[in-house]
Amino acid sequence: MQNGFRLFGRLYLKLVLLTLAVETLVRIVLLFNEQTTDLGFTFGEWLQVFLLGALNDLAVATLAFAFLWLYTLSVGSGKFRSPWGYLLLAILAGTFCYVTFGHTVFDEYGSVVPAIASGLLGYWTASFALRLFVPSIRKGWSQTWLAILLVIYVGLILFNGLCEYFFWNEFGVRYNFIAVDYLVYTNEVVGNIMESYPVVPMLAVLLVVTLVVAWLLFRHDVKCTDLLRGARWKGLAVPVYLAAAAAAAGLLSFNTRFQNSANAYVNELQANGLYKFYDAFLKNELDYKQFYRTMPDAAAEAIVHAEYGSTADNLRTVAGRDNAPQRNIVLITLESMSASFMERFGNADRLTPVLDSLYGRSLAFDRVFATGNRTVRGLEAVTLSLPPCPGQSIIKKKNNAGMHSTGSILRDKGYKVRYFYGGNSYFDNMETFFGGNGYEIVDQRQYAPEEITFSNIWGVCDEDAYRKVIRTLNADAATDRPFFAHVMSVSNHRPFTYPAGKIAIPHDSKSRAGGVMYSDYALGEFFREAARQPWFANTVFLVTADHCASSAGKTEIPLDKYHIPAFIFAPEFVAPAVVERTVSQIDLMPTLFSLLGLGYDSRFYGRDVLSDDYEPRAFIATYQDLGYLEDDIFTVLSPVERFEQFRLAPTAANPFDMQPLDTTDHRMLDRAVAFYQTSSEWNKR
């Protein structure tokens, strides 16, 4: 009994120590990552990062040990004794036949899931039968599988450390809702990773290191697998491990209260990435009233109705101009185009000459803030004109068809409404959302082979996409119906590959600067070609970004990382001007509608920023922190009814820098709560 329990304890201790060593090294590396821009921690914060961080790692390692714990309990010959061995074999064989030839829950998932389930059960059945009838192989079998499981554990610990580094390098945080979200789209994500990083060499090195570490740590333990065959030690191991696992789960939950400080880096560095992933998975749906600060519904609705002059669920009539001409509308949302890339906003690298030139000839908005840090947030903002909801974007939720949208308003006015995407629109649920809201979708599946000159995992290059847009709009214009085209670009996205010979940065450099410059170049080619078309003179173009290239910063919502470009370009009938007011991404389409004299019934929270009664404000959020900026006060609502407020304190280095507010501004707090609470309730999906 003692020998079996000691072996069990050694396996646990070594895996825990390896986890602690790897995670501590990861923390040190992340501290010196370029995404970590502030290390002004107090002594207590350093203790949080490393001491509480180690406790979190210990707890996660304890819970993750469950699979190996279950395997060690299964080592033994008791299950092969008559009649139990034959009964178990019959159960396994029956289950295999049922899954393989019957209709089971696995079939509901479709794809390869039924085949995987059938294969695993087939292997389990065959291997059990082999050990039942050939007892001599049982010892070697147990040793081999213990060795394989230990190698898998070591490999996953090392692999997770590597993944955490690359995720932080991209987003400046531990695993979060983005990591959960991306797992749904394995093909695109794996393809993106393969094209962005030297995956094969890295995995080869990782495999070698895994085998070496596993051999050094466990070569003697594997030879002692027979010690696990006893039954008495298992009677002790079961309650001991279950108690340890319960304590670990409680510790992880308790320690989250220390991850709500004002310094986002301290919060993220002390956390364990795997637990953050699990936590994000659970929080992908957040009910506003359950998790956030609220006020009586009547009070919240009164604030909203006073703001918009509306009734019911923010319904009001927006007056139009009599006999206003019907203009074609092209809305272009540029992938990851931060305002900071532009010379207009201080960049000296000349990455965006086209955007900078168009800004000077357009109705230009200098203080526009994206609603979020994902493409679906940007699409949600310009399509639904609503504050971002907590958790998933509405685009990703079920039952999101038939909504009050920019497309539905224009369709009711006789417009041909299309959504153009250079990739496969099933990604991010775009196909379901836009198709369910009356848009005709043109994506990569509608491209003939000769229409594609270059593509990567995200889809065709922007030049190919824009050429497809022009060909389609030429056909639409011939029908004498006005058209509304929403175009989503893809090229400014990792792996940042594009056709050769187009810009000064080599096409295989895989640099963000190259992606930005090529996206800008392709936009210029689009406008040059569009200007030659007969419909150009009667068309208004709204160009903006879906979100910024990065959202990492000292605070949870650093305003400078949500600052995006936006302008309305129509040289025949929109005079160049500059709007210096604070503008939300949700205001862009309502402003365009008013500019064109369109009248319509509206439930939008976006407003015409050119109107005299416009109150400059912006809605800015992550998947769980909801921000509201008005005047110079930035209010952030967070789960568990928490809130923070900041005052804009511009510096030479950052015009959107903020400092914590000493006393609560209750008016701004109430307005933030009212807007988010009512929008979440009125637009539940």
Mean pLDDT to the nearest integer, 654-679? 95
Mean pLDDT to the nearest integer, 503-531? 95
Q: Collapsing DSSP states into helix, strand and coil, what is residue 213? A: helix
Confidence (pLDDT) at 575: 95
pLDDT at 184 over 80: no
pLDDT band at 36 (very low <50, low <70, confident <90, very high): confident
Confidence (pLDDT) at 1: 55
Q: Collapsing DSSP states into helix, strand and coil, what is residue 479? A: coil
pLDDT at 587 over 80: yes
Kindly state the tokens that stand for 99: 């899954």
* CB of 286 closer than 8 Å to CB of 684: no
pLDDT band at 198 (very low <50, low <70, confident <90, very high): confident
pLDDT band at 156 (very low <50, low <70, confident <90, very high): very high
CA dihedral 365, 35, 517, 428 (to 10 degrees): -80
Confidence (pLDDT) at 391: 84
pLDDT at 474 over 70: yes
φ/ψ of residue 329, rounded to 5: -130, 130
Q: Collapsing DSSP states into helix, strand and coil, what is residue 678? A: helix
SS3 content of the chain, % helix, strand, coil (to 5): 55, 15, 30
* CB of 455 closer than 8 Å to CB of 464: yes
Mean pLDDT to the nearest integer, 84-102? 89
* CB of 629 closer than 8 Å to CB of 388: no
* CB of 80 closer than 8 Å to CB of 138: yes
- Kindly state the helix (H) or strand (E) to which residue 620 belongs, with its residue range: strand 617-621
pLDDT band at 176 (very low <50, low <70, confident <90, very high): confident
E strand segments, 476-536: 483-488
Rounded to whole angstroms, what are the CA distances from 162 to 57, 157, 188, 283, 415? Answer: 16, 9, 20, 25, 50
pLDDT band at 33 (very low <50, low <70, confident <90, very high): confident
Rounded to whole angstroms, what are the CA distances from 483 to 292, 348, 419, 479, 613? Answer: 41, 37, 11, 10, 30
Mean pLDDT to the nearest integer, 200-204? 92
Kindly state the tokens that stand for 51: 């001491």
Amino acid residing at 525 = E
Mean pLDDT to the nearest integer, 260-285? 83
Longest dimension (CA), the chain: 92
pLDDT at 179 over 80: no
Mean pLDDT to the nearest integer, 20-25? 96
Percentage of the chain modeled with pLDDT above 90: 69
Amino acid residing at 24 = T
Give per-residue pLDDT as tens, 484-502. 999 999 999 888 999 999 9
Rounded to whole angstroms, the Cα distance separating 302 from 413 reads 31
CA dihedral 440, 445, 446, 452 (to 10 degrees): 140
Pick from 116, 127, 120, 114: nearest CA to 88: 127
Contacts of 82-88 spanning 24+ positions with Cβ under 8 A:
85/132, 86/132, 88/128
Which DSSP string do the residues of 188-228 spell out, in sequence order? HHHHHHHHHS-HHHHHHHHHHHHHHHHHHHHHHHHHTGGGG
pLDDT at 551 over 70: no
* Axis crossing angle, helix 2-31 with helix 66-74, rounded to the nearest 10: 160
pLDDT at 233 over 80: yes
What is the SS3 assignment for 76-126?
A: CCHHHCCCHHHHHHHHHHHHHHHHHHCCCHHHHHCCCHHHHHHHHHHHHHH
**Start and end residues for every CATH 3.40.720.10 domain found in the chain:** 290-682
Pick from 449, 395, 296, 383: nearest CA to 586: 383
| Pairing of β 642-648 and β 633-638 | antiparallel
Rounded to whole angstroms, the Cα distance separating 407 from 581 reads 26
Burial (0-12, 13-18, 19+ Cβ within 10 Å), 123? exposed
Mean pLDDT to the nearest integer, 505-532? 95
* CB of 472 closer than 8 Å to CB of 533: no
pLDDT at 107 over 70: no
Residue 566: half-sphere exposure toward Cβ, Cα within 13 Å: 32
Of these ranges, 127-131, 512-516, 551-555, the one predicted with the greatest mean pLDDT is 512-516
Lowest mean pLDDT among 170-179, 228-237, 393-402: 170-179
Give per-residue pLDDT as tens, 448-472. 999 999 998 889 999 999 999 999 9
Rounded to whole angstroms, the Cα distance separating 133 from 127 reads 10
Q: Collapsing DSSP states into helix, strand and coil, what is residue 487? A: strand
Rounded to whole angstroms, the Cα distance separating 86 from 76 reads 16
Mean pLDDT to the nearest integer, 21-38? 89
Pick from 366, 363, 341, 369: nearest CA to 354: 341
φ/ψ of residue 620, rounded to 5: -140, 130
Confidence (pLDDT) at 186: 59
Q: Collapsing DSSP states into helix, strand and coil, what is residue 619? A: strand
Mean pLDDT to the nearest integer, 655-672? 95
Pick from 198, 187, 194, 197: nearest CA to 444: 187
Mean pLDDT to the nearest integer, 616-623? 93
* CB of 514 closer than 8 Å to CB of 496: yes
Mean pLDDT to the nearest integer, 302-311? 96
Choose between 373 and 107: higher pLDDT. Answer: 373
* CB of 591 closer than 8 Å to CB of 395: no
The domain made up of 290-682 is a member of CATH 3.20.20.70: no
Q: Identify the DSSP state of 391.
A: B
Mean pLDDT over the full length of the chain: 91
Rounded to whole angstroms, the Cα distance separating 74 from 228 reads 9
Lowest mean pLDDT among 34-38, 116-120, 592-596: 34-38
Q: Describe the strand order of the beta sheet including 483-488 as a list of residue ranges.
A: 440-442, 416-421, 483-488, 328-334, 539-545, 563-569, 363-369, 577-584
Kindly state the tokens that stand for 629: 């900026």
